[in-house]
Every structure is written in C-alpha cells, then in structure tokens.
C-alpha cells in the first residue's frame, strides 16, 4: 500500500513541522542531498519540528506501508537519506547543541551539523572528535564511527558517545547508555542507522584550541612513491597529539597556495598539532623532518588557525551538488607494493576534484578494545584509505568512477580483510557489510531482531535481523 494525497493530508494535520510533497514548490530542494549524482523522488519529506513529529512520521509510514529514509545532514555518499517512494524523516530542525563545560559534555540534536557542534564546543575550548567537513550531519557520522584530525589523540566519535535518545521502530522513545539498554547502546556505536532514529546524542568532549597548528607540505605528483615511503617512516614516531594525513589532490586556488602551483596535482603531507601550544614544537619537528628527508616540495605552508577553521577547511572542496563516487579499505600500513599502486594510479586522476585520502588510525584509536563498540573495523594500527571520484557534472562521473574502481582493486590485495568504513559505503558495497563488522555482525543482527524485527530501518549499511 502506498500513501495517497489524503494520507499525506492526515500526516500534515498530525505534525507540527512541514510535510513537503511533489506538488509543493519546495519539493526539489527538500529532496536534494549532498551527492549531486543522487536524484531520488520520495513520496514526501516530513520536516520534523521535534521528537513527537518523528514518532508521528514513523507511525504514518508504518501504517501506510511506506519505506523510510532518515535524513540528518544529507551527506551520505550513497544517498541513503532519501529514496524513491520513501517517506523521508528530516531531522534538520533538531539541531540544538548544549554544552556543559564543567562536565565536558555536549548534548547534540540528531539533525545538527558538524559545524554547529564545533562552534558550540569551542566557546568553551572543547571539541568532540569527529569528521572534517563542517556541513556533514553529526547523526550519520557518529553512528558509523567518526574519524578526523583528533582520532590519533582521542579516538573516534563513537568512543565519546555517552548516551542517546532514540525513537525505536515500534514508536517508543527510549534513553540508552552503558546502564540503560546497554545492548542497544553498544550497537549504536558503529552499527549505523539500523536500530532506530537518534534524536539526541550526548558526547564527552576534550580540550582543544582555540588555536591549532596547521602545516601542509605539497610535493610533485611524480614524487609520490618517495613521499609515501617518507610517510611510512614517520608514522611510528609521531606523538599522538598530532593529526597526520596523506592526501593526493589538485592544489586549489587558495591564498596559501602559490599562484604557479594552483591547479597542479600532487601529494600533500598534512600535520596538525592539537596540543594548544603555539607554535607546536612536536608539529614543527615533524614538518622539519619531512623537509629534511623528502624531495623538494612545491610549497610548504604553516600557520596557527582556529580549530573551527580547520574543521571547515575542506568544505568548499566537498561542496553540495558535485557528483561523487568513492571506495575505501583499511591498509595495515604502506608496503612497497601498495605504494607503487597508489603512486601509479594517482597519475591517472582526471578531475581536479578527485582525490586519495589516507587517514592515520593509531594512538587513541587503538586503545579501545575491538568489542567495546560495534565499529566496523578492528583497533589495530592502520590507514583508512579513501579513493574519491568527483565531477562537477554527470558527464564526467563515469571516468572518475572507473578510476576509483581501478585504484581500489589495486589496493585490495594489500588491505586488511574485505571491510570498509561504513560511512563511505556506496550501494555496490552492500556485500561487504558482513566482512566490515566481522565477529560483531552476528551480535548486531541479534540486537536488530530485538529492536527492529521488521527491518523498518533498512536504508543504511543494512544488517537484517537475525531469524
């Protein structure tokens, strides 16, 4: 059974927020998501004004046989927050962030964006470890893991989740924490949107900023193998207060990039000091070592900057409306064959928007036991490898997609198992879900059977309920 106009009129009458249908002038904007290649047409978008609206919209979908999409920031690469023929439960209005500086805790609405949380926490010199793009929704990010500049120092976002308010599939609104419905709490910390609609998170925060030390050293594309070997040598000695990432990108037209380098594709080693010291001696030492050992860079840039600016530094490069396709895997390090693969395929990149991004996952990331959370990846030292194809229009995406798939296929023989970071999964990655969760999969399926036996929440890295 599908909803008719009368059914949607009933939904409007029951909700405090708006209901946007294909007949409404704002429909195309309301269904738009970050990935420009996604063009799904939901039955309606329920813009929830509060938790009560979420319960009403969920009830309406179930009574009328409508599949659900849940939208926080709309940033899913696979476009999971909208779907053809679905009722979208839009949480954007649930974006309040309340910080308790004495307890170092933050209550964050399920529709808040990363920049909302960062700004509120930085008023008190705090931060919740999270991602790196300010217009990302905290909901999807936090439920899948959440990695970024603070991961080496303080772990993943899921490691800082203290509790959550959740609307379950049967319409109950519950509170979960280590002491309240602990099985559900465990599953939420990495299990994605499989178990309910989180309308509020409570996180612990760590002292950061207000200034951090940023440094980027940018090398020629042909020096990729040497730069990657240098990065491999640097990793074991890096203090955990440093964020360290390896990126193959096209130099943007930014003020800190020399004019004659803008538009060049190359390899960047990025070091971020989060200790609060300005200048940061550990960060400067790491950058000096890079300069001493590596080929001559095209440019180097060092500066203190506000933590909030760091967190939005990649916003323009990840703008809404660009057409995206990505693949990922975990690497145990940078063996020579993986370096050869990365360096060779980087030369074939066509679009200036496409990139390779290697996240360093060690330090505090490894201090959490494998089974303490449901995160889809073991806590051994590793690199999170993301190969991202991006085009300003649909015509260019097939070329970038082919490049992504070729490079990813070349990395897989060197990867840890067949798993992938769940927040980067595309639709064709669904067969990798079990491998991603490994020994945690069966436990997650059993918890799913308790809280969502009918698989109402299926538009995600889906884990069907155990039978």
pLDDT at position 206, please? 97
Range of the domain at 74: 5-90
Q: What is the pLDDT of residue 4?
A: 52
Q: Are residues 284 and 409 in the same domain?
A: yes
Q: Tell me the percentage of the chain whose pLDDT exceeds 70.
A: 99
pTM score: 0.96
Per the structure, how many domains does the chain have?
Answer: 3
Nearest to 187 by CA among 460, 467, 430: 460
Burial of 264 (0-12, 13-18, 19+ CB in 10 A): middle
How many Cβ atoms are within 10 Å of 459's Cβ, its own excluded?
Answer: 22
Q: Is residue 243's pLDDT more than 80?
A: yes
Question: Residue 177: enclosing H or E segment and its boundaries?
Answer: strand 173-177
Same domain for 191 and 323, yes or no, is: no
199 belongs to a structural domain: yes
Question: What's residue 140's pLDDT?
Answer: 95
Residue 145: give its domain's CATH number: 3.30.465.10
Residue-wise pLDDT for 315-332, tens only, equals 999 999 999 999 999 999
On whether both 197 and 219 belong to a single domain, the answer is no
- Note the pLDDT tens digit of each residue in 13-60: 999 999 999 999 999 999 999 999 999 999 999 999 999 999 999 999
Residues 31 and 154 placed together within one structural domain of the fold: no
Confidence category of residue 285, pLDDT binned at 50, 70, 90: very high
| Strand partners of residue 233 | none
Question: Does the pLDDT at position 3 exceed 60?
Answer: no
Residues 6+ apart with CB under 8 A from 314: 132, 133
Q: What pLDDT digit, counting tens, does each position of 416-443 carry?
A: 998 999 999 999 999 999 999 999 999 9
Q: What is the pLDDT of residues 93-131, one digit of tens each?
A: 999 999 999 999 999 999 999 999 999 999 999 999 999
Burial of 178 from C-beta contacts in 10 A (0-12 / 13-18 / 19+): exposed
What mean pLDDT value characterizes the chain? 96
Same domain, 273 and 413: yes
| CATH code, domain with 226 | 3.40.462.20
Each residue of 289-316: b (16+ CB within 10 Å) or e? bbeeebeebbbebbebeebbbbbbbbbe
Co-location of 225 and 200 in the same domain: no
Last residue of a domain, one of 208, 243, 269: 208
Place of tokens 């396709």: 325
Residue 217 lies in a domain: yes
Residue-level pLDDT at 5: 54
Contact 232, 290 (CB under 8 A): no
With 70 as the cut, is the pLDDT of residue 353 above it?
yes
Domain boundary pick from 36, 69, 90: 90
The domain that contains 72 carries what CATH number?
Answer: 3.30.43.10
CB atoms inside a 10 Å sphere around CB 13: 9
436 part of a folded domain: no
Q: 331 with 276, same domain?
A: yes
Q: Is 181 left (phi over 0), alpha (psi -120 to 50) or beta?
A: left
- 188 in the same domain as 249: no
Task: Output the pLDDT for position 60.
Answer: 97
Answer yes or no: are the C-beta atoms of 195 and 452 closer than 8 Å.
Answer: yes
For residue 450, is it within any domain?
Answer: no
Report how far residue 215's alpha carbon sits from residue 272's, in angstroms, rounded to the nearest whole number: 6
Please tell me whether residues 223 and 271 are part of one structural domain. yes
Q: Is 462 contained in some domain?
A: no
Q: Reply yes or no on whether the pLDDT at 2 is more than 80.
A: no
Residue 238 lies in a domain: yes
**Domain identity same for 43 and 141:** no
291 and 189: one domain?
Answer: no
Task: Provide φ and ψ at 375, rounded to 5°.
Answer: -50, 135
* Cβ-Cβ contacts under 8 Å for 414 (sequence gap 6 or more): 331, 332, 335, 337, 338, 341
* Bridge partners, 16 (sequence order): none
Confidence of residue 1 (pLDDT cuts 50, 70, 90): very low
- Same domain (yes/no): 202, 102: yes
415 vs 404: CA distance, rounded Å = 15
* Tokens found for residue 166: 């959740």
- Whether the CB-CB separation of 110 and 72 falls below 8 Å is answered with yes
Given 43, 59, 90, which residue is the final one in a domain? 90
In a domain, 446, yes or no: no
- DSSP-assigned letter for residue 350: -
Query: Above 90 in pLDDT, residue 415?
Result: yes
How far apart (Å, rounded) are the C-alpha atoms in residues 6 and 60? 12
CB atoms within 10 A of CB 403: 20
Which of these, 291, 272, 293, lies nearest to 283 by C-alpha position? 272
pLDDT of residue 53: 98
Torsions phi, psi for 388 (to 5 deg)? -120, 120
pLDDT digits (tens, 9 = 90+) for 181-222: 999 999 999 999 999 999 999 999 999 999 999 999 999 999
What is the CB-side half-sphere exposure of residue 92 using CA atoms within 13 A? 16
Residue 378 lies in a domain: yes
CA distance 147 to 248: 18
């Amino acid at each position: 059974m599908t909803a008719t106009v009368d059914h949607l009129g009933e939904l409007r009458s029951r909700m405090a927020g708006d209901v946007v249908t294909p007949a409404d002038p704002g429909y195309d904007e309301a269904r738009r998501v970050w990935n420009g290649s996604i063009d799904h047409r939901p039955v309606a978008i329920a813009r929830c004004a509060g938790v009560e609206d979420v319960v009403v919209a969920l009830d309406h979908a179930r009574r009328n046989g409508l599949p659900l999409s849940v939208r926080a920031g709309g940033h899913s690469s696979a476009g999971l927050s909208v779907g053809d023929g679905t009722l979208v439960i839009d949480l954007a209005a649930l974006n309040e962030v309340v910080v308790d500086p004495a307890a170092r805790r933050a209550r964050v609405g399920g529709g808040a964006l990363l920049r909302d949380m960062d700004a509120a926490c930085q008023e008190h010199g705090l931060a919740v470890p999270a991602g790196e793009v300010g217009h990302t929704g905290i909901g999807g990010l936090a439920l899948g893991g959440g990695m970024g500049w603070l991961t080496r120092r303080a772990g993943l976002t899921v490691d800082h989740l203290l509790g959550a308010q959740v609307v379950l599939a049967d319409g109950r609104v519950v509170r979960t924490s280590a002491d309240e419905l602990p099985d559900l709490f465990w599953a939420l910390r990495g299990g994605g949107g499989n178990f309910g609609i989180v309308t509020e998170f409570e996180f612990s925060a760590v002292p950061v900023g207000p200034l951090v030390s940023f440094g980027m050293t940018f090398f020629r594309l042909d020096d990729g193998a040497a730069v990657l070997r240098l990065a491999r040598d640097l990793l074991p000695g890096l203090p955990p207060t440093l964020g360290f990432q390896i990126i193959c990108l096209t130099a943007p037209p930014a003020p800190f990039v020399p004019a004659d380098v803008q538009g060049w594709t190359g390899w960047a080693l990025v070091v971020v000091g989060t200790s609060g010291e300005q200048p940061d001696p550990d960060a400067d030492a790491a950058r000096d070592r890079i300069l001493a050992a590596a080929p001559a860079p095209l440019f180097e840039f060092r500066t203190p900057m506000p933590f909030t600016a760091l967190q939005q530094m990649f916003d323009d490069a990840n703008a809404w409306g660009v057409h995206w396709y990505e693949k990922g895997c975990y690497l145990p390090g940078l063996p020579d064959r993986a370096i050869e693969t990365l360096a060779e395929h980087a030369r074939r990149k066509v679009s200036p928007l496409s990139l390779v991004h290697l996240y360093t996952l060690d330090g505090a990331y490894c201090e959490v036991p494998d089974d303490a959370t449901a995160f889809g990846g073991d806590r051994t030292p590793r690199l999170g490898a993301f190969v991202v194809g991006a085009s300003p229009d649909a015509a260019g995406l097939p070329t970038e997609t082919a490049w992504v798939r070729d490079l990813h296929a070349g990395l897989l023989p060197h990867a840890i198992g067949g798993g992938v970071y769940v927040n980067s999964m595309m639709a064709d990655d669904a067969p990798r879900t079990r491998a991603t969760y490994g020994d945690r999969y069966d436990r997650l399926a059993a918890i799913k059977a308790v809280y969502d036996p009918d698989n109402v929440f299926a538009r995600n890295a889906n884990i069907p309920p155990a039978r």
